[in-house]
């Protein structure tokens, strides 16, 4: 029976957290949306989770309208509670991706109300991927968040690095801070601080610079009904099954594969540049897609199928952005926003390519991953071999157009992974 229930605001975030939980000894399943956990049509749902210690619900709520993000997160929490979860973890991005209206604050407020808790911690730190919080400022490697490439994110440009200042306009709770000195004084000292009246109803931004700090934060909050943060905080949790096996790969070397990159992030652009001289590739042409969407997608998938026939060992790359100039910020009159068009196009490619035989898919970008996984109609994902910090293969059954296929899927956060991940990830599929 699962006791830990997590709600992730995007799909890469869900597999990121699940990968960490698996490594920490939790038998973990990613459920795609609240209905994959428990729907009224499945009264026996709790039994299906008997072998899981943790369930992570993947939502596509990071950039959804506030009311929708709140409603979906609440539903997810209720579904998790219905299958036995008693502790909850709200997973958002390690670069605190959000806008002044939300959704991190409103969702946290709603989950606090739902759990009956008064306060929680806010811990975006994830040192394994270079995200640290010191004196309340979020760093991305050597840069403050607002001086990092996240400044230019197409959907959630991050223009401040003070976590409390980012959060305050988003929440009805007071936002307070606890510094590194208190964390380094140990779990008992930190617990005493968090119990202080000053933080009684607060969202408490806690400094953490390395994994030991995160272990201290996790120890000090073990009786909290709700914690919030990036996947780093899970480094401090310990599950009951340290020697569990990860899911085995569904596909074999040589099975058709494809890389679908909708992310415009700096790391993904470097990965695209690396792959452009090593893999067959096509860039999405937004003008063609706006003209005749079906024909444009058919052209892309025909290209991929030709490449499979020619050299099955080299998974083709379909990508949206190679340079920052490729990002379209304006929406032509009467047309859908470019970001939506790109997500829809990559989702359509994924659907057609799985029908055509793709059994290994590497998807870059959180929103993009949400669109692809939803289009493939996956319900659950089982974490498999790790690829890089925060990125792993997952085995999943998909039904893009009725028939079920088991595929290997890697959902890569825009900013995660080494430069060669599009060519090297396949080697971990064993
Ligand atoms: N050429 C483009 N113009 C505008 N938006 C784009 C373009 N290419 C991709 N996008 C959008 O940028 C967003 C990238 O977000 P996401 O997939 O979450 O990547 P990341 O993980 O880097 O944040 C997606 O909504 C995607 O559709
Ligand atoms: O915490 C993180 O950085 C990731 O798990 C994450 O949320 C990634 O989001 P995207 O960059 O939008 O993929």
Residue pLDDT, tens place only, 157-201 = 999 999 999 999 999 999 999 999 999 999 999 999 999 999 999
Q: What is the ipTM of this complex?
A: 0.98
Give me the pLDDT at residue 44, please.
60
Q: How far is the CA of 131 from the centre of ligand 2 (A)?
A: 11
Strands 4-8 and 54-58: parallel
Among 93, 105, 89, 23, residue whose Cα is nearest residue 56: 89
Indicate where the chain has its CATH 3.40.50.10840 domain(s).
Answer: 4-236
Which of the ligands is closest to the CA of residue 337? 1
Residue 41 pLDDT > 80: no
Ligand 1, atom 10, residue with closest C-alpha: 339
Which ligand 2 atom sits nearest the alpha carbon of residue 95? Answer: 3
Longest dimension (CA), the chain: 67
Query: Which ligand is the nearest neighbour of the Cα of 326?
Result: 1
- 8 A C-beta contact, residue 289 and residue 326: no
pLDDT in tens, 114-137: 999 999 999 999 999 999 999 999
Residue 60: name the closest of 160, 164, 155, 168 by CA.
155
156 alpha carbon to ligand 2 midpoint, in Å?
12
Q: Could you report the per-residue pLDDT of 274-328, keeping only the tens digit for each? A: 999 999 999 999 999 999 999 999 999 999 999 999 998 899 999 999 999 999 9
Cα–Cα distances in angstroms (integers) from residue 351 to residues 44, 298, 303, 305, 401, in the given order: 30, 11, 15, 13, 8
Which H/E stretch holds residue 4? strand 4-8
328 Cβ below 6 A of ligand 1:
yes
State how far Cα 59 lies from the chain centre: 9
- Centre of ligand 1 to C-alpha 151, Å, is 14
Q: Where in the chain is the domain with CATH 3.40.980.20?
A: 257-428
Selected from 3.40.50.300, 2.60.40.1180, 3.40.980.20, 3.40.50.11540, the CATH number assigned to the domain covering 257-428 reads 3.40.980.20
| Helices and strands (H and E) in the chain: how many | 14, 18
Pairing between strand 131-134 and 28-32?
unpaired
Contact 425, 410 (CB under 8 A): yes
Taking the centre of ligand 2 as the mean of its atom positions, its distance from the CA of residue 62, in whole angstroms, is 10
Establish whether residue 343 lines the binding site of ligand 1, counting it when its CB lies within 6 angstroms of any ligand atom. Answer: yes
Pick the ligand that lies closest to the CA of residue 371: 1
Q: Is 197 exposed, middle or buried (0-12, 13-18, 19+ CB in 10 A)?
A: exposed
Tell which one of 11, 262, 290 to mutate to probe ligand 1, the residue whose CB is within 8 A of the most ligand atoms. Answer: 262
φ, ψ (nearest 5 deg) of residue 237: -95, 155
Ligand 1 atom 11, closest CA: 339
- Secondary structure (3-state) at 250: coil
What fold does the segment set 4-236 form as a domain?
Rossmann fold (3.40.50)
Ligand 1 centroid–CA 242 distance in Å is: 37
What is the reported pLDDT for 402?
A: 86
pTM attached to this predicted model: 0.96
Q: DSSP code of 256?
A: -
Number of Cβ atoms within 10 Å of the Cβ of 303: 14
Mean pLDDT over 50-78 rounds to 96
């Amino acid at each position: 029976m699962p006791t830990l229930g997590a709600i992730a605001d995007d799909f890469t975030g869900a597999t990121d957290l699940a990968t960490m939980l698996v490594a920490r000894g939790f038998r973990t399943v990613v459920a795609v949306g609240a209905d994959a956990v428990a729907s009224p049509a499945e009264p026996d749902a709790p039994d299906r989770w008997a072998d899981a210690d943790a369930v992570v619900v993947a939502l596509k709520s990071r950039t959804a309208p506030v009311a929708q993000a709140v409603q979906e997160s609440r539903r997810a929490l209720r579904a998790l509670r219905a299958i036995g979860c008693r502790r909850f973890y709200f997973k958002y991005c390690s670069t605190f991706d959000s806008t002044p209206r939300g959704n991190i604050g409103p969702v946290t407020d709603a989950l606090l109300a739902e759990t009956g808790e008064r306060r929680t911690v806010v811990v975006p730190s994830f040192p394994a991927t270079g995200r640290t919080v010191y004196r309340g400022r979020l760093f991305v490697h050597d840069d403050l968040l607002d001086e990092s490439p996240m400044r230019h994110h197409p959907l959630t440009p991050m223009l401040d690095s003070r976590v409390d200042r980012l959060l305050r306009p988003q929440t009805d709770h007071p936002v307070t801070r606890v510094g590194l000195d208190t964390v380094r004084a140990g779990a008992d000292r930190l617990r005493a601080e968090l119990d202080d009246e000053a933080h009684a109803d607060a969202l408490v931004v806690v400094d953490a610079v390395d994994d030991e700090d995160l272990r201290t934060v996790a120890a000090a909050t073990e009786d909290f009904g709700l914690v919030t943060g990036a996947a780093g905080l899970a480094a401090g949790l310990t599950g009951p099954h340290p020697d569990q096996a990860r899911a085995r790969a569904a596909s074999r070397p040589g099975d058709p594969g494809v890389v679908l990159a909708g992310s415009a992030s700096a790391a993904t652009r470097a990965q695209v540049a690396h792959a452009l001289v090593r893999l067959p590739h096509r860039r999405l042409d937004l003008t063609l897609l706006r003209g005749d969407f079906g024909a444009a997608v058919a052209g892309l998938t025909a290209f991929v199928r030709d490449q499979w026939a020619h050299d099955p060992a080299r998974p083709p790359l379909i990508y949206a952005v190679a340079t920052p100039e490729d990002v379209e910020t304006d929406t032509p009159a009467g047309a859908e926003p470019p970001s939506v068009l790109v997500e829809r196009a990559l989702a359509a490619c994924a659907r057609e390519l799985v029908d055509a035989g793709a059994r290994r898919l590497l998807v870059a970008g959180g929103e993009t991953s949400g669109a692809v996984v939803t289009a493939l109609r996956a319900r659950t994902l089982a974490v498999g071999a790790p690829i890089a910090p925060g990125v792993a293969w997952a085995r999943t059954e998909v039904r893009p157009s009725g028939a079920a296929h088991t595929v290997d899927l890697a959902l890569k956060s825009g900013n995660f992974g080494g430069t060669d991940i599009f060519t090297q990830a396949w080697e971990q599929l064993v």
